[in-house]
Structure 1
Amino acid sequence: MPNDLINTDPLIAQNFFLEIDGSVVTILSGVSGLDVEMEVASTTQVGKDGKQLQVKTLAGRNKAPDLSLTRMAPPDSTQDKMWGWFNDIYSKGILLSDRTNNRKSGSVVMYDSTHVEVARFNFTNGWPSKIATDALSVDSNDPVKETITLTIESLHRVK
């Protein structure tokens, strides 16, 4: 087997953060929804011999997933940037007349064990639509986690 097929180490999903406007907002322990996907349109056509043909093509737009971000719950939500952003939207809403109001662009950034950036997923016009706290139990010694749903309009892997 040729060794030239494996000339780099694999990405290890171990160190990743959420950046908004170029600064780290929170450290993450899990991320899902990093799906870069195109919408497909399909049509059925009938050829001259009467056979049906399925034709699939690009529908002209990309699908935007919701990101699911998991992190350790902050000890004081009033001092946390993510809770501040969420509570601002929860109490005031999002102005329909101003698309930039409370929508922010940012990145999920991965680093290797030497703290070198190895991957970056940029999103646009995101906003936290839900923060779910883990179930609590007196039988557990695990730290409390939160799962944040970040609603976004586009996602691109740029590195």
Structure 2
Amino acid sequence: MADDGSAQSANVWPLPKFHFQVKWDSTEMSFEEVSGLDVEAQMIEYRRGDSPEFSTVKMPGLKKYGNVTMKKGIFKADNKFWDWFNQIKMNTIKRVPVIISLLDESGKPTMVWTLKNAWPAKITGTDLKAQGNEVAVETIEIAHEGLTIANS
């Protein structure tokens, strides 16, 4: 008898990356792509003067978070990116939490990335092509002050 998959364990297959949601503050927004969810520990190299080894010791230093890039289709009268970006005034900007959730097949979050004090660092409008056959897509690059990950 063939296996129909009904008795299969829920943790056999990795989660697909195409079912996700993004919330800016409390507003849910739709995006085509999210990338840049990364963090690295900057390296500190140290060697004491009386060390018999002619090499440095490598230690973890400050954490460095990359900017997160989000892409979405352009819709008529949708200027949320630009409105937020235009609030930048002499080193002041409204900083909001951004929550990115990878969803399971029932729509429940299984992995959640939270960006602390996020703000728009760069916006890239769509390219225009007379012979193109694609959707107009704009890109926003989000700077933030920390990334936390939670699993459900």
**TM range, normalised to the smaller chain?**
0.7 to 0.9
Query: Residue 85 of structure 1: SS of its match in structure 2?
Result: helix
Query: Which residue identity lines up with residue 149 of structure 2 in the other structure?
Result: R
Q: Return the structure number with greater helix share.
A: 1
TM-score normalised over the length of structure 1: 0.77
Q: Report 1:81-92 matches (<5 A).
A: 81-89=80-88, 92=89
Bigger drift between 38-47 and 142-151 goes to 38-47
**Shift of the alpha carbon at 1:54?**
2.8
Question: What is the match of residue 145 of structure 1?
Answer: 137
Change (3 A) 1:119 1:136: same
Q: Report 1:20-31 matches (<5 A).
A: 20-24=24-28, 26-31=29-34
**Structure 1 gap segments, 5+ residues each:** 1-5, 96-100
**Shift of the alpha carbon at 1:37?**
2.1
Q: What is the CA deviation profile of residues 22-47 of structure 1, one whole-angstrom value per residue up to 9, with x for unaligned ones? A: 431x2111111100222221223567
Query: Residue 87 of structure 2: SS of its match in structure 1?
Result: helix
TM-score normalised over the length of structure 2: 0.80
Structure 1 contact 108–120 (Cα < 8 Å) conserved: yes
**Structure 2 gap segments, 5+ residues each:** 1-9
The separation in 2 between residues aligned to 1:108 and 1:152, in whole angstroms, is 13
**Shift of the alpha carbon at 1:94?**
3.8
Q: CA RMSD in A?
A: 2.2
**Shift of the alpha carbon at 1:18?**
2.1
Q: How many residues align?
A: 142
Change (3 A) 1:9 1:46: farther
**Shift of the alpha carbon at 1:143?**
0.6
